[in-house]
């Protein structure tokens, strides 16, 4: 069964272009023209991935993310025509997995879509249950508990934590982590790792300003620290 993609953009010509291209690429594509319509379509269609414009009428992409990320762990690739770094960072902080800046080629976007979906479909090649301290991560069920309490993560946050926990004490560079998440290292996207790490610390660390689990190794990257 083909993967279902929801394209959300207020420009009909762009929706038509992406729907045509992604359909030819083997995906089942549905579309919405603003965040409010996207909520209705997403709740009905249960897409496997969402391509989301940020600047839209009625309900913008930010508000859609704030609402829908509380309902489902659906991966999101945001589209933005704005060049400010803060726009991209805010989208990632709200739970997006990747971003593409307009103008872009449909081929590049399709490659990003395949990379995210391939990562989610990939079977774990190690143990399914990872434990460290109070943290327990179930790869097969894609669930995280801390001290018996369920913690919601975005798909990228989950896979990033699983990568770090799979090799405690090992330092992963930003490029290596980016490659694990996206399937390819895109120039200029290393800072997305820093955003995901910051989000992860907020969710799993007792004190995010003084991390206990995820340690920054300056000049090198990040590692998951073994607990004594």
* Mean pLDDT across 141-146: 89
CATH number for 129-224 (one of 3.40.605.10, 1.10.260.40, 3.40.30.10, 1.10.10.10): it is 1.10.10.10
Q: Please state the separation of Cα 192 from the chain's center in Å.
A: 10
CATH number for 4-121 (one of 3.40.50.2300, 3.30.43.10, 1.10.510.10, 3.90.1150.10): it is 3.40.50.2300
pLDDT per residue over 77-108, tens digit each? Answer: 988 876 566 667 777 777 788 888 888 888 88
Task: Label residue 188 by pLDDT band (50, 70, 90).
Answer: very low
pTM: 0.66
Lowest model confidence (mean pLDDT) among 6-10, 103-107, 224-228? 224-228
Dihedral over alpha carbons 54, 59, 63, 65 (to 10 degrees) = -60
Task: Label residue 186 by pLDDT band (50, 70, 90).
Answer: very low
* Mean pLDDT across 17-28: 93
Token couple for 110: 């399709």
| CA–CA dist 25, 110 (Å, integer) | 8
pLDDT on residue 117? 83
Can you give the residue ranges of every domain in the chain? 4-121, 129-224
pLDDT per residue over 33-75, tens digit each? Answer: 999 999 999 999 999 999 999 888 888 888 998 898 888 888 8
Look-up: residue for tokens 């330092």? 171
| CA–CA dist 42, 128 (Å, integer) | 29
| More confident of the two residues 117 and 86 | 117
């Amino acid at each position: 069964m083909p993967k279902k993609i929801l394209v959300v953009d207020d420009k009909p010509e762009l929706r038509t272009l992406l729907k045509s291209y992604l359909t030819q690429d083997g995906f089942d594509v549905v579309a919405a023209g603003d965040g409010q319509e996207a909520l209705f379509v997403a709740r009905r269609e249960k897409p496997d991935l969402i391509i989301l414009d940020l600047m839209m009428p009625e309900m913008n992409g930010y508000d859609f993310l704030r609402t829908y990320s509380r309902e489902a762990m659906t991966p999101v690739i945001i589209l933005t025509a704005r060049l400010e770094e803060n726009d991209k960072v805010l989208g990632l902080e709200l739970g997006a997995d990747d971003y593409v800046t307009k103008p872009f080629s449909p081929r590049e976007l399709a490659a990003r879509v395949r990379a995210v979906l391939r990562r989610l479909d990939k079977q774990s090649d190690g143990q399914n249950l990872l434990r460290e301290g109070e943290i327990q991560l179930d790869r097969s069920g894609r669930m995280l508990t801390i001290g018996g309490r369920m913690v919601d993560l975005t798909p990228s946050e989950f896979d990033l934590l699983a990568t770090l926990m799979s090799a405690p004490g090992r330092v992963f560079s930003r490029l290596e982590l980016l490659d694990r998440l996206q399937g390819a290292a895109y120039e200029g996207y290393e800072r997305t790792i820093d955003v995901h790490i910051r989000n992860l610390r907020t969710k799993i660390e007792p004190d995010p300003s003084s991390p206990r689990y995820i340690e920054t190794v300056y000049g090198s990257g990040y590692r998951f620290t073994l607990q004594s």
